[in-house]
Every structure is written in C-alpha cells, then in structure tokens.
Amino acid sequence: MKLNLKMIVFLGLIMTAAISNAGSVLSVRLVEASHAGQGMGTGLGDVSRLLLDNLPFKSFQMLASRSMSLPADGVASLSEGIVARCTGSQETLKVVIERGGKAVMQTTVALRDGTPLIIGGISTGRGKMIVILLAK
C-alpha cells in the first residue's frame, strides 16, 4: 500500500510540474508583410528568422500586439479592423480572425511554449497581414 501511495504522490508532482510549465500568456501579433521596402519592424526580433526564412516578403512591420491569459477566452482588437477571438487551452486553442466583423479565418491549433505559430494571409493593397501566436 505504501508503494502505491508513493507512486500517486510522484505522479502528482510530475503533473503539477507539467501544468506549471505550460504557457500562461498568449501573445497575438498582427504583422504586415510586403515587398515595399526591406527589414524587420520593432517588436519582431524574436520571430525575424522565422519570417524571413518562410515567407516570400522583404518587409515586416508589426501593426499591433495584444496579450491574454491562457486558457484563453477573449477578444484581441488588433488594427486595420482585424479582431482575433481566442478560446481554449494552448493544446486546443480555437482562433477566429475577423475583418470588419466577418470571419476570414478559423482554425484550432496546438501551441508549444516559446514556439511562434504564423497563421493568416489576409490580403491588403500593400501585401499580406499575418497573425503570429505565441504561448509563453
């Protein structure tokens, strides 16, 4: 019986550690990607390599950045009439991107701590707007 109790306590400690290592904050950034100019805007240093290596654009400018707690159940009003509605845990995060009150993207994602995820491709007259999600 003592062995079972020790095992239960050990498993409880492991579960507590796993939960405490999960991200507690969701960062939502709206970025404009274009061929007008070159370079990386302020606030994108942590994702600059990801953007330059994976997207066919020369210029990236952050239009807005918002945060909410995880598990999420909120709305991030960004810029250019873009709103991100996020609900759920970082393992099953439902994201709806709206423009002018209409859903333009809807997905469910699993985020890993510290690993940014790019979603989007909303056309603009200058290029594309993308949303970068990051659990930290």
pLDDT in tens, 115-135: 999 998 899 888 999 999 999
Q: Residues 6 or more apart from 18 whose CB is under 8 A from it? A: none
pTM: 0.82
> Is residue 16 a part of any domain in this protein?
no
> Is residue 45 a part of any domain in this protein?
yes
> Is residue 75 a part of any domain in this protein?
yes
User: Which domain does 47 fall in, by range?
Assistant: 23-135
Amino acid at 61: Q
Residues in the chain: 136
> Is residue 3 a part of any domain in this protein?
no
> Is residue 4 a part of any domain in this protein?
no
- The yes-or-no verdict on residue 1 having pLDDT over 60 is no
> Is residue 1 a part of any domain in this protein?
no
Q: What is the pLDDT of residues 13-71, one digit of tens each?
A: 333 334 444 679 999 999 999 999 899 999 999 999 999 999 999 999 999 999 999 99
> Is residue 14 a part of any domain in this protein?
no
- The yes-or-no verdict on residue 108 having pLDDT over 80 is yes
**Counted domains in the chain:** 1
For residue 12, the model assigns a pLDDT of 42
> Is residue 92 a part of any domain in this protein?
yes
CA distance 93 to 68: 12
